[in-house]
Chain A
Amino acid sequence: MSEPIKTDVVIVGAGPIGLFAVFELGLLDMKCHLIDILDKIGGQCAELYPEKPIYDIPGIPFTSAQGLVDALLQQIKPFNPLYHLNEMVETVEKIGDPLFRVTTDQGKVFEAKIVVIAAGGGSFQPKRPPIPGIEAYEGKSVHYAVRKMESFRDKRVLVVGGGDSALDWTLNLAPIASHLTLLHRRSEFRAAPDSVNKMMALVGDGKIDLVVGQVTALSGGDGQISKAMVKTNDGSAFEIACDALLPFFGLTMKLGPVANWGFELKNNELIPVDSAAFETSIPGIFAIGDINWYPGKLKLILSGFHEAALMAQKAYRYVYPEKRLVFQYTTSSTSLQKKLGVAPERPAAPARAAT
């Protein structure tokens, strides 16, 4: 186990609500680390609908989902949060009063006075394509991510998909696999044009095969796949012999490890909280945004923002038990403005019209 990273707050999930929590906590002098399984910041907004419009953020008549994430990043910059991407939080244990040990699947360990779960609809995980019986091969010869390229050396690899992941792994594994086939349902690719060109060059040189079609069934035994049945768009069927199948069908949200952190979940998927501070049944652990439930809950970004503000007030009492919290506005408080890096040296005199 590595040396623990000590901090005031660990935020599980870097979606819009986790991001805004950094702001509210930061105004009250609490330092945050954010952890997200995604390779990018922004949760659903960045992963599912970056270019789509949002019309119901108070005071912002119109923005794109990515635009909102970018604006939040700018807003929280003064607080220098630390991001740990591509990491899934696996466990949250209480080790003090309150003090928590948080561990990730990459072996990182955090010690935090407060944990804020802003896990949205759960962690993003690769989608399992609905190919009958695929579960039997998962982990052994069907993989949704590549951890070690070497494990594909001299194997016959079948990559399925037309996006960036499919193309990236096609390019990376082509020199390692004994034979690589890329299978996609059509001849256009969503992936970056540069990757598509590189892939086409490999096809042109006879280094890899490109097949247009879809997998309908798998066969093999004992978790080891031996071939995939493939159907083309004109209805003809054939087989592709392979030792490993890598399907890339995008991401979906699954609750994931949150289910094992000791909460009695509402409908098996939501963490119940009180609606005064959005604290869970474990004092010092808060849940805000899409992941929580309380009477009247709405899964809206604006509701999550409100939850973040109230959560921070209570969190302060744990992090600074000896201090008294004074309510202040960012408009008028010089101390808040200093934290935001906007405090003027000397308040400028208001301009007066000459009379």
Chain B
Amino acid sequence: MVQITFIDSRGTARTVEGEAGSTVMETAIKNGVPEIEAECGGACACSTCHVYIEEAWREKVGEPSPMEEDMLDFAYNVQPNSRLSCQIKVREDLDGLIVRTPDRQA
């Protein structure tokens, strides 16, 4: 199991367990983490699973693919550390990952 911490826009942190092979978005939805909508169910087609990757984790998580970048155009307040959480696979080496959720999804 991989621990992932979601910090919401008001600063409340929730740490939940993710399963390797699933996605960060699925982990959030399964555990009822707020501020992630994921309207399209993870198809990289809606951009309502937008998160900010905590600085220390950016390198390990990696950069978005060109398709994800295109979808990020539809998100609000995109930052250099923005990612779509449905496009991040949970891996053992991401144990302890911290992401922040935006106050609104597009």
Contact = CB atoms under 8 A, between A and B. Distances in A.
A163 interface: yes
Contact of B73 (A52, A130, A163): A163
A214 B77 contact: yes
Interface string A149-191: 0000000000001110000000000000000000011101010
A66 to B, nearest CB: 13
Given A129-B106, A163-B73, A214 B43 contact: no
Question: B interface, how many residues as a size bin?
Answer: 10 to 19
B80 to A, nearest CB: 6
B70 A190 contact: yes
Contacts of A131: 76
A106 interface: no
A233 B72 CA distance: 14
B45 interface: yes
Given A49-B45, A216-B77, 18 more contacts: A48-B45, A49-B40, A49-B43, A52-B45, A127-B74, A129-B106, A130-B76, A130-B105, A161-B73, A162-B73, A163-B73, A188-B66, A190-B70, A190-B73, A214-B77, A214-B78, A233-B79, A233-B80
B14 interface: no
Contacts of A144: none
Interface in A5-55: 48-49, 52
B74 A249 contact: yes
B104 interface: yes
Q: Which of B73, B76, B105, B106 has the most CB of A within 10 A?
A: B73
Interface string B49-87: 000000000000000001001101110111110000000
Contacts of B66: 188
Contacts, number: 42
A125 to B, nearest CB: 14
A282 B37 CA distance: 34
B78 A250 contact: no
Main secondary structure on A side of the interface with B: loop
Contact of A188 (B40, B69, B106): B69
Interface string A126-156: 0101110000000000000000000000000
Given A48-B40, A48-B45, A130-B106, A184 B77 contact: no
Question: A interface, how many residues as a size bin?
Answer: 20 to 34
Contacts of A249: 73-74, 106
B74 A250 contact: yes
A184 B70 CA distance: 11
Contacts of A188: 66, 69
B43 A52 contact: yes
A162 B72 CA distance: 11
A45 B76 CA distance: 25
Interface in A77-102: none
Nearest to A160: B73
Nearest to B103: A130
A249 B69 CA distance: 13
Contacts of B77: 214, 216
Contacts of B40: 48-49
Contacts of A163: 70, 73
B76 A129 contact: yes
A188 B67 CA distance: 12
B73 A185 contact: yes
Contacts of B105: 130
A250 B39 CA distance: 14
Interface string B17-42: 00000000000000000000000100
Contacts of A129: 76, 106
A52 B66 CA distance: 15
Contacts of B70: 163, 190
A131 B76 CA distance: 8
Interface string A203-239: 0000000000010100000000000000001000000
Contacts of A214: 77-78
Nearest to B66: A188
Interface in A97-116: none
9 contacts: A48-B46, A49-B43, A52-B43, A130-B104, A131-B76, A185-B73, A185-B78, A190-B73, A216-B77
